[in-house]
């Protein structure tokens, strides 16, 4: 909660869980996201895997979940979807903050963000399976990750 308020002014919500809490709390979180998406101009960032990958390989994704696909099925057809891939973040918030105070050139791997072409929710409305919708979106994100790997991964 403290990190949420310190980093994002309380806007990193609702949490989506991959553990036993998911059965009770995830439907509440999904309902909150659906409600937010009803308002024009809302920005909502979602990990299609349900959470961020925290292992050492930034190009390896977790198993996808149908939540994003379900949200897109329910979203207004004009809702804009912007796929993106972020690499270079540390798994420790404290280390992430500390590196900002190091001298230039000693801050570690730069944070890189790759943006894909904007899509509309209508682009996904022909598909009935939410998992297939999430997979389609994840394919676009994987392409962005591959662009980054081609230019930045060690050989």
Q: What is 8-47 written as a DSSP string?
A: HTT-S-S---SSTTHHHHHHHHHHHHHHHHTSTT------
pTM to 2 decimal places: 0.80
Which residue is it, tokens 């190091």?
102
DSSP class of 86: E
Instruction: Provide, rounded to the nearest whole percent, the portion of the chain with pLDDT above 70.
Output: 88
Mention every residue, 6+ apart, whose C-beta is less than 8 A from residue 78. 120, 121, 122
Query: What is the tens place of the pLDDT at every residue in 39-79?
Result: 877 788 877 665 667 788 888 888 888 888 999 998 888 88
């Amino acid at each position: 909660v403290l990190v949420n308020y310190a980093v994002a002014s309380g806007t990193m919500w609702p949490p989506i869980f991959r553990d036993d809490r998911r059965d009770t709390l995830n439907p509440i979180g999904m309902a909150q996201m659906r409600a937010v998406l009803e308002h024009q101009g809302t920005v909502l960032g979602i990990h299609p895997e349900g959470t961020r990958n925290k292992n050492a390989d930034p190009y390896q994704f977790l198993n996808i979940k149908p939540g994003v696909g379900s949200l897109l099925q329910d979203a207004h057809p004009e809702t804009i979807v912007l796929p993106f891939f972020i690499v270079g973040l540390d798994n420790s918030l404290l280390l992430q903050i500390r590196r900002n105070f190091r001298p230039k050139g000693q801050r570690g791997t730069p944070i890189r963000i790759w943006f894909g072409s904007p899509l509309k929710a209508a682009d996904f409305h022909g598909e009935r399976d939410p998992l297939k919708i999430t997979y389609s979106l994840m394919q676009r994100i994987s392409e962005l990750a591959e662009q980054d790997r081609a230019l930045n991964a060690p050989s």
